[in-house]
Structure 1
Amino acid sequence: MTDSPPHRPHALRPFALAVTAAVSTLALTACGGALVTAAADPGAAAPVSTSADPGASTAPTDVITYGHQQEPPCVHGGWIEQGYLSHQVLDALVSLGDDGAVEPWLATDWDVSDDDLTWTFHLREEPTFSDGTPVDAQAIVDNVDYWLEGGNSTAKVWLDDYVEDATAVDDRTVEIALSDPYPLLAENLTQPYFGIQSPTALATRSAEENCTSPIGSGPFTLTEWNRGTNIVLDRRDDYDWAPATAATQGPAKAERIDWRFLADPTARTAALRAGELDAIYDVQAFEWENLQDEGYETHLFNTPGRPQQISFNTTRAPFDDKRVRQAFAYSLDRESVVDSVGKGVIPYEGNGSVGQATDGYSQAAADRYSFDPDEADRLLDDAGWTQRAADGTRTKDGERLHIEFPYAGGRTINQDGAAIIQGLQQQAEAVGFDVTLIPFPPSEAAAGAYTGPDEYDLSIGYWTSINAGILHVIWRQEVGGEPNTSNSAFYFDDELESLIREANSTTDPAEQDALYQQAQETIADEALSIGVYDRLSTLAASPRLHGLRQENSQGGPVFHDAYIAD
């Protein structure tokens, strides 16, 4: 029996099956270059085919062909799109059950010391990495060290303020020592960013190789990457340690996953209808009900953590003035725009800190700014923006109330999201803001475009997580002694950070939620961030595909139990 700090299970994240019901600016470990695959010697590497024809390989008889919307720079890293892929290859210490409770995986059980500063994980005996390396205590220690050293930037920012070190007590026992109590540690370790890699691979291969083709203990191995086209995942026949959330134990049912990259949502949907794909990711809202009516199975996961939200750059005019930030928030009828574009599928979210699927959610923060153009007018007048140009834009001392609003189209923002942003632009302009939208491509986003304090007035983005501890990741002031670039409002406040830290270390769930809610309400009162819509993870699958499910921490597809049958 697992002995861990008191924590209530999450409310079940909603997902839907076909016809029965209808009703997702990150730290990123980037790498590039050609894919390599581990040979018998995990320190050696063999080039993999770069053919543009995904059918060039000899195909086994049971292949699932899946269409995804984005190709990440590499497989393992700190971005959710990488987590979707790496979860097929890398197992974790623990998993998140369907009821939101933490369940065993590579660890059979765990316990916490009386002072809440030492976590002890006990490991299963049978798991091995695909290179033959045992999944033992030293392997876990090597992975914790790798995270803390920055090998995975997202893993680091979750752990570095709390985890001091990890120690192998014996081959099957690992101790993790903390500097402060961190009751959500096990829960956070269920995220795919914490997939366990072969220590031999970490020690003998380059960071680029381990990022591009990680070696794990999971049900599939990555055997081929045709850049711009697809990734091939082949079944590992000796796999027999799936988490309790799996429908069956033993190897995956499918021999191969052909993971294709199709950025155009219309093309993905057409390929599904034509039978060229067995499943697709990121279903457009207007197609949701159509696909259900046509007999396709649909899955929807409302991702907890930070929703799609707009942050105000508080370091430069005009949003260095709280009144102007509040006026912008009041100028938007966000709910009507989301409902219009989202067709009842995309949920409106008013809270800019965490979404409604997250424990410790504050409805008061979500309700802080309702649509009130009269109040927006009053605040702008009070802030001195009293004149208007010929086109209706407000001016002050001869300067237009100009707003630059970049967004990463095709990466952070999909087509439905872009339509929502355009609707908000029109509403803000009706009050007197001059909003310039600046869509930029995924390549620029991967290179860190529009992340500095001199590069934008508004920023939109999300950060998926399981709990409100994401507040610490986003609103802390420093990471490793450097300014926290994930704080897209550039708002650094000792009292807010102390409040979030207190919440992170509070072991009573009710007290923890109250502290997290207080932090969200501070963020809302200061008009630092306003919510727009919940980030969703959506799938549609052919009636021929059975056993597909979504992972419970991030909502990515899980193919271990999936198979094709007419």
Structure 2
Amino acid sequence: MMPRLLTAVAALLLSTASAWAARDTITIGMVLEPPNLDPTAGAAAAIDEVVYANVFQGLTRFGPDGSIRPDLAKSWDVSEDGTRYTFHLQEGVTFQDGSRFDAKDVKFSLDRARADDSVNAQKQLFAGIEQVTVIDPLTVEVTLKAPDGALPFKLAWGDAVMVAPESAADNATHPIGTGPFMFKDWAKGDHVTLSAYEGYWGQPPKLREATFRFISDPTAAFSALMAGDVDAFPNYPAPETAAQFKADPRFKLIIGSTEGETILAMNERNPPLNDTRVRAAIAHALNRADIINGAMFGYGTPIGTHFAPHNPAYVDLTALSNYDPAESKALLKEAGVSDLTLRMALPPPSYARRSGEIIQAELAAVGIQTKITNMEWADWLERVFKGHDFDLTVVSHTEPMDIGIYARPDYYFGYNSPKFDAVMQELEGTSDPDKRTELLQQAQRILAEDYANAFLFQLPKIGVANAKIEGLWKNAPTQANDLTQVYWDE
């Protein structure tokens, strides 16, 4: 009997050890499925949410506190005139296909991003680069057209990650980077799975495998967490049920901030939206408190311009577009506008759909009718973002400190202001922190006074996770689910 008992005990111990060892995998919930997996060839935030810091890396990167940190560049020097950055690269770095990463790949990546035929969604990040020169395999020099103290910040974006000439063309469907996780599989409509890269040059991740499951329906997201089908939802889409997780010891509720300025964007190419008075009328018709309470269940910070309130340079300009239906009606009358009907295109996130319904009712109260079209993400990107086929849309801009998009006349909402452009051009060549703050505040005020869009609220980061998971970001200084420091604490 004794040998059988020992065998049973041994089997139990082995089973327990196996269960323990199995906690090196994680399933992450995401609302949106990325249209592709190449951050250098797409504007969707969902791309970076899967691959940023996990599969792909840049010369620099965002830390969880928003700081700019070394990544593939272990250090850099700046010339006295501020026009030359010399980057010193990490040693022993390989891409996940085993090929070596060196200065030639840096030159290829940056030249590709700024090329005339570049499809990079943030091509303007690289517009100030004059030349990229390989000094030796571990040293590369970037020469700028003018001094730019923000270059390390720009190179931390997902759009600036390093890619290899041998694999860049296939990164949309089979991404190959230098990060700690490598692509394993993509079941369209369901999930993407990454696995740890054994040849990673830095500190190995504690997770062996990570699966990103796509769950757009808020009710389904709640059910998936409760059932344990997903371990964490870093950007939880159902704020109305967040309190239930806070009261449940099996979970942790992680409330932070994002870079997501949530706006009612107006297509200024379409009359009468090219009239500042009409845009002002729309802005004054909207009650931010109603939208935040109704769409976000109280989570979210009102904004009056395109800038994050947690940024030290932020100016509270909400009073310029305060809720005033009488002012809205007066402005519409002054502009000679009546019987106005506008098309409102809404992407899938619940904040957009819920906000859109509230906005529709509030605009109707001042005499503006709206026809809502609910779109899938790929359709929104194609028809609204690229095709400019819309009047109104609700979307969160989650890129870090992206006020510069208003200096792009080809951008989807069509804002065009020489005064704003001049401020941004001066900012580009300014490295003094106090002067940069002054210029950023000027830019914020111009947008608010022009009613460039209707600025609603700063998107909160509402995360829900198994209580035993550690290392998830609380805040979102960029659009990422960085798993490099994530582990199970059991």
TM interval, short-chain normalised: 0.7 to 0.9
Deviations along 1:143-167, one digit per CA (max 9) or x if unpaired, are: 111211355513422212x112211
Hey, which of these two has a bigger chunk of helix by percent? 2
**Could you give the per-residue CA deviations for residues 301-360 of structure 1, whole angstroms, max 9, x where no partner exists?**
4222x6111233333333233222212211221223213432232222232x22323453
Q: Which secondary structure state, in structure 2, belongs to the residue aligned with residue 539 of structure 1?
A: strand
Contact 2:345-2:380 within 8 A present in 1 as well: no
The equivalent of 2:70 in structure 1 is: 104
Deviation at 1:564, TM superposition (A): 3.3
Amino acid at match of 1:100: G
Aligned amino acid, residue 146 of structure 1: R
Instruction: Quickly say closer, same or farther: Cα 1:461–1:117, change in 2 above 3 A.
Output: same
The within-5 A match list for 1:133-152 is 133-149=99-115, 151=118
Does residue 224 in structure 1 map to residue 185 in structure 2? yes
Gaps of 5+ in 1: 1-58, 242-249, 386-394, 478-483
Question: Structure 1 residue 118 and structure 2 residue 77: aligned?
Answer: no
Residue in 2 aligned with 1:402?
A: 341
Q: Is the 2:256–2:475 Cα contact (8 Å) retained in structure 1?
A: no
The equivalent of 1:40 in structure 2 is none
Counterpart AA for 2:220: A
Aligned residue pair count:
463
Report if the CA contact (8 A) 1:278-1:544 is conserved. Answer: no
What residue is the counterpart of 1:244 in the other structure?
none
Distance, in Å, in 2 between the alignment partners of 1:128 and 1:356 is: 39
State the distance in 1 between where 2:134 and 2:98 align. 20
The offset of 1:552, in angstroms, is 5.3
Separation in 1, partners of 2:267, 2:65: 38
What's 1:269 paired with? 222
The letter for the 1-side match of 2:33 is: E
Instruction: Give the fraction of aligned pairs with identical amino acids, expressed as a percent.
Output: 26
Given candidates 339, 342, 349, the residue that maps to 2:293 is: 339
* 1:257 corresponding residue in structure 2: 210
Q: What is the deviation of 1:463?
A: 2.6
Q: Structure 2 unaligned segments of length 5 or more: list them.
A: 1-20
Cα pair distance change 1:436/1:534, threshold 3 Å: same
Aligned match of 1:33? none
Q: Which of 309, 316, 332 is matched with 1:356 structurally?
A: 309
Give the letter for the 1:401 counterpart. Answer: L
Following superposition, the deviation at residue 451 of structure 1 comes to 5.1
Counterpart code for 2:253: T
Determine the structure 1 residue equivalent to 2:419. Answer: 495
Length-normalised TM-score, structure 2:
0.88
Q: Tell whether the 8 Å contact from 2:56 to 2:176 is kept in structure 1 after alignment.
A: yes
Aligned pairs for 1:166-565 (under 5 A) are 166-202=132-168, 207=169, 209-241=170-202, 250-283=203-236, 284-295=238-249, 296-304=251-259, 307-351=261-305, 353-364=306-317, 366-385=318-337, 395=338, 400-408=339-347, 410=348, 414-449=349-384, 452=387, 455-467=389-401, 470-477=402-409, 484-486=410-412, 488=413, 490-549=414-473, 553-565=477-489
Q: Residues 215 and 221 of structure 1 are in contact (CA less than 8 Å); yes or no, is this contact kept in structure 2?
A: yes
Q: Give SS of 2:301's match.
A: coil
* Cα separation, partners in 2 of 1:229 and 1:138, compared to 1, 3 Å: same
Shift >6 Å, 4+ stretches? none
TM-score of the superposition, structure 1-length normalised?
A: 0.77
- CA distance in structure 2 between the aligned counterparts of 1:512 and 1:547, rounded to whole angstroms: 33
Q: 1:460 to 1:138 in 2, by over 3 A?
A: same
Deviations along 1:44-96, one digit per CA (max 9) or x if unpaired, are: xxxxxxxxxxxxxxx97732122212111211123221011122111221123
**Cα deviation digits, residues 10-68 of structure 1 (max 9, x gap):** xxxxxxxxxxxxxxxxxxxxxxxxxxxxxxxxxxxxxxxxxxxxxxxxx9773212221
1:552–1:92 distance in 2 versus 1, CA, 3 Å: farther
Task: Work out the CA distance in 1 between the residues paired with 2:451 and 2:351.
Answer: 25
* Counterparts of 1:131 and 1:450, CA distance in 2: 34
Q: Find the residue that maps to 2:113 and give its secondary structure.
A: helix
Cα distance in 2 between the residues matched to 1:439 and 1:146: 35
Instruction: Give the direction of change, closer, same or farther, for the CA distance of 1:300–1:257 in structure 2 (3 Å limit).
Output: same
